[in-house]
């Protein structure tokens, strides 16, 4: 079979249209948007335009959009910024999240616990990784500063009911932050009811080092970076104009094709999942079988090593991963799979396949997976 790159949840190639859109702001229109001359004004106009374009996609105002260095910074700014502001304003010292979040969420929450004395509630998830709105309602307190939940999980692809969760937080006036890093390009970003949304550019065809945190204007945010007061005082530092243009362009392209590509990719994913489950007796699909990202298929293969299966797949022209790229090199079983109730020895056999928006030929993929697993199982 032809070589297949199926690790798009880790990163995607930069779209040619994005490179073209960026180029002027890396060459002749290189000015600092804070400078009061024509070259600076060119950059300022491009930055304002990019901000408005992103705002239209997430369903917020242009002034709500903060350009960041990626999803990790956006998540840190959302959680720490909202929580510390709430602490300063009303003494709030409680945050809510789940045990299956990205490390940038969990480590930010742990920082609040260690440094500022916050109480942390980890909402339970079921065996598919779903959060119940009733559990969230029960966990809310008068002193809850922020709720942070991943719109779609980065390892198993389970999609949360964002609208249902926001229906719980909104009446209590508790800000809901959605980590939409994996959801962008696959799921609608507007109409969720979220008060803050994180996006990473390199998941949708923009370069690494670009991202967005959109926070509704009524939510006070304590900045992490202090200095010149850029981004309405919420993130100081000279703006990455080319990066902002890249994110806006990539998001627009992804949104234009989202409905068609999500349906097409989901159909290919389902065919692949059915093939793997039919050909590999030890295969177990992880995550929600229905409410999952269109491009994500994740399995455990009991009795193997996930890393060994990955090597065998690469020999067969298939590039995939054993889970979150941010945890690469760790010998610890996935905290996500542990939270789903999967035993450590089985969790260490996990393999994740994440598809691109572009059409790919998956006709021989399930057989390649079966052959790779068989090779590992038969190895001395």
Tell me how far apart the alpha carbons of residues 251 and 83 are, in angstroms, rounded to a whole number: 28
Q: Do 247 and 354 fall into the same domain?
A: no
**Residue (of 21, 15, 4) closest to 254 by Cα position:** 15
Q: Are residues 101 and 222 in the same domain?
A: yes
Whether residues 100 and 28 fall in one domain: yes
pLDDT for the residue 323: 67
How confident is the model over 302-321, as pLDDT tens digits? 999 999 999 999 999 999 99
Q: Are residues 243 and 279 in the same domain?
A: no
Do 216 and 325 fall into the same domain? no
Q: What is the CATH number of the domain that holds 66?
A: 3.40.640.10
Query: Which residues are within 8 A (CB) of 151 and not within 5 positions of it... i.e. 6 or more apart?
Result: 159, 160, 162, 178, 179, 180, 182, 183, 187, 192, 194, 197
Q: In this structure, are residues 68 and 235 in contact, taking their beta carbons and an 8 Å threshold? A: yes
Are residues 233 and 138 part of one domain?
Answer: yes
Which of 214, 239, 254 is at the close of a domain?
254
Q: What is the pLDDT of residue 113?
A: 98
Q: Can you tell me the distance from the alpha carbon of 123 to that of 250, in angstroms, rounded to the nearest whole number? A: 33
Do 118 and 93 fall into the same domain? yes
Dihedral sign for Cα atoms in the order 287, 289, 294, 299: positive
Residue that is last in its domain, among 193, 223, 254 = 254
Q: Helix axis angle, 241-279 relative to 38-58, nearest 10°?
A: 30
Final residue before a domain boundary, out of 234, 254, 274? 254
Cα torsion angle, 182, 78, 333, 120, sign: negative
122 shares a domain with 158: yes
Model pLDDT for residues 244-301, shown as the tens digit of each residue = 999 999 999 999 999 999 999 999 999 999 999 999 999 999 999 999 999 999 999 9
**Any idea which residues carry the catalytic annotation?**
326
What pTM was computed for the model? 0.95
CATH code, 278: 3.90.1150.10
pLDDT tens column, 33-88: 999 999 999 999 999 999 999 999 999 999 999 999 999 999 999 999 999 999 99
Rounded to whole angstroms, how far apart are CA atoms 346 and 171? 41
Q: Residue 298 in contact with residue 337, Cβ under 8 Å? A: no
Predicted pLDDT of residue 65: 98
Q: Cβ distance 221 to 202 under 8 Å?
A: no
Whether residue 101 has pLDDT greater than 60? yes
User: Mapping DSSP to helix (H, G, I), strand (E, B) and coil, where does residue 54 land?
Assistant: helix
Same-domain pairing of 78 and 201 = yes
pLDDT in tens, 350-363: 999 999 999 999 99
Determine the pLDDT at residue 379: 78
Cα 174 to Cα 86, 132, 165, 167, 196, distances in angstroms: 10, 17, 11, 11, 11
pLDDT digits (tens, 9 = 90+) for 318-339: 999 986 544 445 568 899 999 9
CA distance 5 to 23: 26
Q: Which pLDDT belongs to residue 380? A: 72
221 and 370 belong to one structural domain = no
Annotate 128-183 with DSSP letters as a single string: T-PPPHHHHHHH--TTEEEEEEESB-TTT-BBP-HHHHHHHHGGGT--EEEE-TTT
Asked if 216 and 275 sit in the same domain, the reply is no
CA distance 48 to 51: 5
Same-domain status, 123 and 192: yes
Residue 1's pLDDT is what?
A: 67
Give the domain range for residue 296. 4-11+258-378
Average pLDDT, whole number, for the chain? Answer: 96
b/e per residue, 331-350, with b = 16+ CB within 10 A? eebbbbbebbebeeebbbbb
Confirm if 246 and 18 have CB atoms less than 8 A apart: yes
What is the domain count for the chain?
2
Neighbours of 63 (CB within 10 A): 14
């Amino acid at each position: 079979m032809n070589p297949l790159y199926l690790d798009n949840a880790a990163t995607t190639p930069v779209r040619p249209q994005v490179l073209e859109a960026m180029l002027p702001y890396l060459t002749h229109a290189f000015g600092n948007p804070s400078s009061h001359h024509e070259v600076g004004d060119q950059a300022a106009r491009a930055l304002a335009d990019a901000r408005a374009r992103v705002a239209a996609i997430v369903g917020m105002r242009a002034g709500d959009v903060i350009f960041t260095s990626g999803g990790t910074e956006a998540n840190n700014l959302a959680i720490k910024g909202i929580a510390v502001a709430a602490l300063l304003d009303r003494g709030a010292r409680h945050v809510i999240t789940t045990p299956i979040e990205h490390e940038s969420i969990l480590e930010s929450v742990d920082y609040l616990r260690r440094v500022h004395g916050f109480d942390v509630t980890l909402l339970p998830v079921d065996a598919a990784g779903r959060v119940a709105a009733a559990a969230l309602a029960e966990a809310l307190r008068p002193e809850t500063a922020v709720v942070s939940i991943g719109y779609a999980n980065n390892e198993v692809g389970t999609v949360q009911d964002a609208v249902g969760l926001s229906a719980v937080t909104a009446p209590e006036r508790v800000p809901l932050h959605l980590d939409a890093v994996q959801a962008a390009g696959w799921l609608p970003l507007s109409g969720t009811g979220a008060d803050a949304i994180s996006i990473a550019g390199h998941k949708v065809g923009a370069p690494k080092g670009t991202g967005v945190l959109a926070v509704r204007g009524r939510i006070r945010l304590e900045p992490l970076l202090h200095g010149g007061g850029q981004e309405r005082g919420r993130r100081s530092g000279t703006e990455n104009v080319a990066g902002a243009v890249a994110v806006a362009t990539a998001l627009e392209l992804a949104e234009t094709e989202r409905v068609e590509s999500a349906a097409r990719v989901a159909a290919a994913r389902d065919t692949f999942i059915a093939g793997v489950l039919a050909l590999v007796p030890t295969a177990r699909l992880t995550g929600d079988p229905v409410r999952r990202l269109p491009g994500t298929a994740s399995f455990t293969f009991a009795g193997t090593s996930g890393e060994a299966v990955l090597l065998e797949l690469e020999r067969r022209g298939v590039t995939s991963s054993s889970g979150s790229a941010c945890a690469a090199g760790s010998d610890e079983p996935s905290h996500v799979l542990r939270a789903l109730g999967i035993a450590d020895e089985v969790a260490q056999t996990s393999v994740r396949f994440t598809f691109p928006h572009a059409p790919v030929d998956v006709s021989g993929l399930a057989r390649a997976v079966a052959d790779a697993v068989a090779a590992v199982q038969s190895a001395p």
